[in-house]
């Protein structure tokens, strides 16, 4: 269609109607200039309103979740420490793997609120469990109390094992920085936590 229009313009619109005449000038046309200014201003304001409103809801942290998880990312795996009722369990540490099922496994209860605290001291990583529909970069040097380190989600109601990965190119074995999240029933989670906190041997 574009080519057809170009050909049409070449054939039918080559003759000058008058010599050296300028096309109609629209400078200092107040209504048009106001339109140029106001329309983008309104568009940006509307986008800003919805973005601010939704990101505020999505990043809200209640402060009293059912489970707290400290996520420590390193080149190239993860260390998860789960805290329930103020008591921290034994950390789960992983190694680079090519199948997420072999990576470190984070066990969480279904239908529960979970607060994640993201930490790293080497390079930028990104914590991503597609199933949670939430992804956040883990940046070295962010202080403990910075809200950018924490986010809270509600886990799904269905048990299962879900893939997780690092979503920020962080070095040679980035693609093997895989882990899994296992969602279990509330009862299974209680017994998992009991055995995880009681036993001292791995």
Q: Please report whether residue 125 would count as binding Cu ion according to CB under 5 A.
A: yes
Nearest to 110 by CA among 190, 178, 166: 190
Whichever of 75 and 113 has its CB closer to Cu ion, that residue is 75
Contact pick of 166, 181, 183, 193 for Cu ion (by CB under 5 A): 166
Minimum CB–partner distance for residue 50 and Cu ion (Å) = 31
Our finding on whether 170 is near Cu ion (CB under 5 A) is yes
The residue (of 139 and 170) whose beta carbon lies closer to Cu ion is 170
Contacts of 173 (CB under 8 A, 6+ apart): 75, 76, 96
* Closest listed residue to residue 173, CA positions, set 60, 86, 96, 79: 96
* Residue 52: its H or E element: helix 30-58
129 near Cu ion (CB under 5 A): no
- Based on the shown chain and the rule CB under 5 A, indicate whether residue 177 belongs to the binding site for Cu ion: yes
Query: Binding to Cu ion by residue 97, rule CB under 5 A?
Result: no
Cβ(39)–Cβ(46) under 8 Å?
no
Distances (CA, A) of 100 to 81, 165, 182: 18, 8, 12
Task: Please give the backbone phi and psi of residue 47, each rounded to the nearest 5 degrees, phi first.
Answer: -60, -45
Scanning 19-27, 93-101, 140-148, 163-171 for contacts with Cu ion by CB under 5 A, the matching segment is: 163-171
Q: What is the rounded end-to-end Cα distance, in angstroms, of the chain? A: 69
What's the closest the beta carbon of residue 167 comes to Cu ion, in angstroms? 8
Kindly state whether residue 178 participates in binding Cu ion, applying the rule CB under 5 A: no
Residue 121 CB, nearest distance to Cu ion (Å)? Answer: 13
Minimum Å distance from CB 128 to Cu ion?
Answer: 10
Residues of this chain that interact with Cu ion (CB under 5 A) are 125, 166, 170, 177
């Amino acid at each position: 269609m574009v080519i057809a229009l170009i050909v049409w313009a070449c054939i039918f619109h080559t003759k000058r109607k008058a010599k050296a005449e300028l096309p109609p000038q629209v400078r200092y046309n107040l209504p048009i200039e106001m339109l140029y200014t106001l329309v983008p201003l309104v568009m940006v304001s509307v986008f800003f309103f919805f973005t601010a409103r939704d990101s505020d809801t999505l990043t809200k942290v209640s402060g009293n979740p059912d489970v707290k998880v400290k996520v420590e990312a390193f080149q190239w795996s993860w260390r998860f420490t789960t805290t329930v009722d103020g008591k921290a369990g034994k950390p789960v540490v992983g190694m680079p793997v090519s199948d997420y099922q072999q990576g470190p496994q984070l066990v969480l209860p279904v239908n529960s609120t979970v607060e994640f605290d993201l930490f790293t001291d080497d390079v930028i990583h990104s914590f991503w469990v597609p199933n949670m529909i939430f992804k956040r970069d883990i940046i070295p040097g962010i202080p403990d109390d910075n809200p950018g380190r924490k986010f809270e989600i509600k886990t799904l109601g269905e048990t299962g094992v879900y893939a997780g990965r690092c979503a920020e190119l962080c070095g040679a074995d980035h693609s093997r920085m895989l882990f899994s999240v296992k969602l279990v029933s509330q009862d299974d989670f209680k017994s998992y936590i009991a055995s995880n906190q009681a036993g001292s041997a791995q």
